[in-house]
Amino acid sequence: MHNFTDRVRAVVRQIPRGQVLSYGEVARLAGSPRAARAVGTVMAGNFDTAIPCHRVIAADGKIGNYNRGDTPDHGRQLKIAKLKKEGINIENGRVLK
């Protein structure tokens, strides 16, 4: 059995282009439904471009942080740009479903 980090990465790797999952949804699919914050920690440490961590958002649709960029705001702007490029609708810093 893989550890939690490996399971999270495997789930996120499967998020299709143009779709998003919340941290809680990723946690549930990784077998630890109460570990949404831990998913955030795993994503914050992810620099593997094969794992599209920009597709993981908060449950309320907020974009959240992104570990790229010179500042947290710059990282968020990069995440928004990547999501928009994939066809995700974003308004006022939230994904519109």
Per-residue pLDDT of the chain (97 residues; tens, 9 = 90+): 589 999 999 999 999 999 999 999 999 999 999 999 999 999 999 999 999 999 999 999 999 888 888 888 899 999 999 999 999 999 998 999 7
What pLDDT was estimated at residue 1? 52
Query: What is the full DSSP assignment across 6-61?
Result: HHHHHHHHTPPTT--EEHHHHHHHTT-TT-HHHHHHHHHT---TTS-GGGEE-TTS
Provide the CB-side half-sphere exposure for 55 (13 A, CA). Answer: 22
The percentage of residues in the chain with a pLDDT greater than 70, rounded to a whole number, is 99
The pLDDT score that the predictor gives to residue 57 is: 97
**Catalytic residue numbers?**
53
**Mean of per-residue pLDDT scores for the chain:** 94
pLDDT at 65 (0 to 100) = 85
pTM listed for this prediction: 0.93
Supply the CATH number for residue 69's domain.
1.10.10.10
Q: Do 75 and 66 touch, CB atoms closer than 8 A?
A: yes
Under 8 Å between Cβ of 65 and 58: no
Instruction: Enter the tokens of residue 86.
Output: 């994939």
- Overall domain count for the chain: 1
* Range of the structural domain that residue 29 is part of: 4-95
d(CA 78, CA 89): 15
